[in-house]
Homo-oligomer: A and B are copies of this chain.
Amino acid sequence: MPKLDESLLAPLPPFSHLERSQIRTILDQASSERHDEGVSVFTEGDVADRFFLLLDGTIRVVKITPDGDQVTSLHIPSGQLFGIAQALGRTTYPATAVSASEVLTLSWPTSLWQTFVVDYPGFATETYKTVGARVSEMNTRIVEMSTQHVEQRVARALLRLVNQSGRNTPEGIEISFPITRQDVSEMTGTTLHTVSRLLSAWEKDGLVASRRKKIIICDPHSLVVLGGA
C-alpha cells in the first residue's frame, strides 16, 4: 500500500480542525482500496465492520426490493464519509454502496469510530452534518416524488448531480461519472424509456447533450425552469 500524504485529508471537513500529527495517525490506521466501476463496496445488511471515506470517484447508494427492482437513494461525491452506520446507531449497513465510477476509498475498522468521535474535535459535528444533509436530500426526494411530475423530477435530479459532481466542458457542464438512462430512472422512480424520451426532447431544444453513458447540461437555467414550475 502506498504511503498516503497528509494533504489528502487536511482540507476535508471531518478532519479540517486537526493537527498534522493527528491526521498522520488517522492515515496510518486506514486501509486504502481501489474499486472498478460497478462494484459493491459493501452490501445492505452486512455487518458494518468498517467505515469509509471516498477519496476519488462517486458512490451510488442503492436499495434492492424483494422483487428485484433497484432504487437509488443518493449519490456521494468524493471527499465525504460513507458507510457510517455508527452515526445512525446501526450495526449493519442500511443500503448497498456501488461505485458509479472507478473509486478510491479509505476505510477504518468500526472499533475506531468511538476514538475518532472522542479524540478528534469537529469529527462528530461534521459527521452529523453529513447525516443531516443526507436526511435533507431524502426528504426532498420524498416531497418531489409526492408532488411533482416525472419531467420535473428528472430535471431536478440532473441538476443535483451536476451541482454535486459536475465538470466543465466546452459544451456545458457534464456529469463527471458514467451514467445511463437506466441509472437516472432509478433515481427518479421512472423508466429508462421515459428518461430517454425526455433527454431526446431536451437535446432537440439544446438543453442537454448526451452520448452513451454521458450527460452534459448545456442550459442549466432552462432545466431549473422545467423543474421549478
A142, B138: Cβ atoms closer than 8 Å: yes
Surface stretch bound by B, among A82-90, A98-106, A165-173, A211-219: A82-90
Shortest CB-to-CB span from A12 to chain B, Å, is 15
For residue A31, CB closer than 8 A to chain B, the reply is: no
A186 to B142, CA, bound (A): 11
For A134, what are the chain B residues with a Cβ–Cβ distance below 8 Å? 135
Shortest CB-to-CB span from A51 to chain B, Å, is 14
User: Which residue of chain B lies nearest to A136 when distances are taken between CB atoms in the complex?
Assistant: B94
For residue A95, CB closer than 8 A to chain B, the reply is: yes
A126, B89: Cβ atoms closer than 8 Å: yes
Q: Is the interface of A mostly helix, strand, loop or mixed?
A: helix
For residue A147, CB closer than 8 A to chain B, the reply is: yes
For A126, what are the chain B residues with a Cβ–Cβ distance below 8 Å? 89
**How many A residues have CB within 8 A of the partner chain?**
34
For residue A22, CB closer than 8 A to chain B, the reply is: no
Query: Which A88-144 residues have C-beta < 8 A from chain B?
Result: 88-90, 94-95, 125-132, 134-136, 138-139, 141-143
A138, B138: Cβ atoms closer than 8 Å: yes
Knowing A71-B142, A73-B142, A94-B135, the reply to whether A147 touches B89 (Cβ < 8 A) is: no
Knowing A142-B73, A147-B71, the reply to whether A131 touches B88 (Cβ < 8 A) is: yes
A146, B94: Cβ atoms closer than 8 Å: no
For A141, what are the chain B residues with a Cβ–Cβ distance below 8 Å? 142
Other contacts beyond A65-B143, A87-B128, A146-B186: 4, CB < 8 A: A73-B139, A88-B132, A138-B142, A145-B146
A-B residue pairs, 4 tightest by C-beta: A88-B132, A89-B129, A146-B189, A89-B128
